[in-house]
Amino acid sequence: MKKPFCKLNFRQFSATGLDTFTQLVLIGIYQNAPVFATPPIVEAALRTLYDKFVIAYADFDKYGITKKTTYLTAKDELLEALNTLAVYVDSVSMGNVSIIALSGFEPSKETDEPSKPLAKIDNFSVKRSENSGQLLVTIGAILNYGRLSYGCFCVEGQPLENFSMEDGLLKIPAGSPTVFIDYNKSRQKVIKGVTPGKLYFIYVFANNSVSVSPLSDYRQIMAT
């Protein structure tokens, strides 16, 4: 039996569904402090993102396309926060479906799923840590592919060029820029030792018992 974890299906919710779901998380995590003692996002910060999203959606619904960009930005910021909280709840619950449900998230199934080949990942986020010289990468959970491990490459200065990844073997040409590699199995990565003021390009991948996914398209971020 695999451990249940927080489902990330909220990313596909309608605006009203995401509104209701966020309220459940606000109640579930922040009104149960004995269980969720150290959430990575304080309640006030999540409420600010939630309020911003609600206002942006109301404006988009009223004024249409002129407010679409503001709405999508507010939605993405809220989804990133919820994704970070999902990783935290998984670390607290350790597969306990009751704790996951208490948080407001929906637990995944407890039954093992058969492994099948993985496609390229497109659901991940990158942000700066509160600590200088660190980046945080959060990969969305991939469902129905059996037991998974998640990896990450961080490239300094420019994207990788003329590289290939086949059957889990990464070939990096001579003279390529500095590459940080994270092979720990979790969906949340902490990349340490990056240089403030430099641009970094992040790629992620996953593997299960039958395949290694292709490297994702990159996300870029300036370190601080």
Say what the pLDDT of residue 70 is.
Answer: 96
Say what the pLDDT of residue 164 is.
Answer: 67
pTM (predicted TM-score): 0.52
Q: Count other C-beta atoms under 10 Å from residue 15's C-beta.
A: 15
SS3 (DSSP) at 71: helix
CATH topology of domain 124-222: Immunoglobulin-like (2.60.40)
| b (16+ CB within 10 A) / e for 30-46 | beeeebbeebebeeeeb
Q: Which residue in this structure is represented by tokens 């597969």?
A: 95
Per residue of the chain (224 residues), what is the pLDDT tens digit? 567 899 999 999 999 999 999 999 999 999 999 999 999 999 999 999 999 999 999 999 999 999 999 999 999 999 999 999 999 999 999 989 999 999 999 998 765 555 688 899 999 999 998 889 999 999 988 877 877 889 998 999 988 777 766 666 677 777 778 888 887 778 889 999 999 999 999 999 998 888 888 889 999 999 98
Say what the pLDDT of residue 1 is.
Answer: 53
Say what the pLDDT of residue 13 is.
Answer: 92
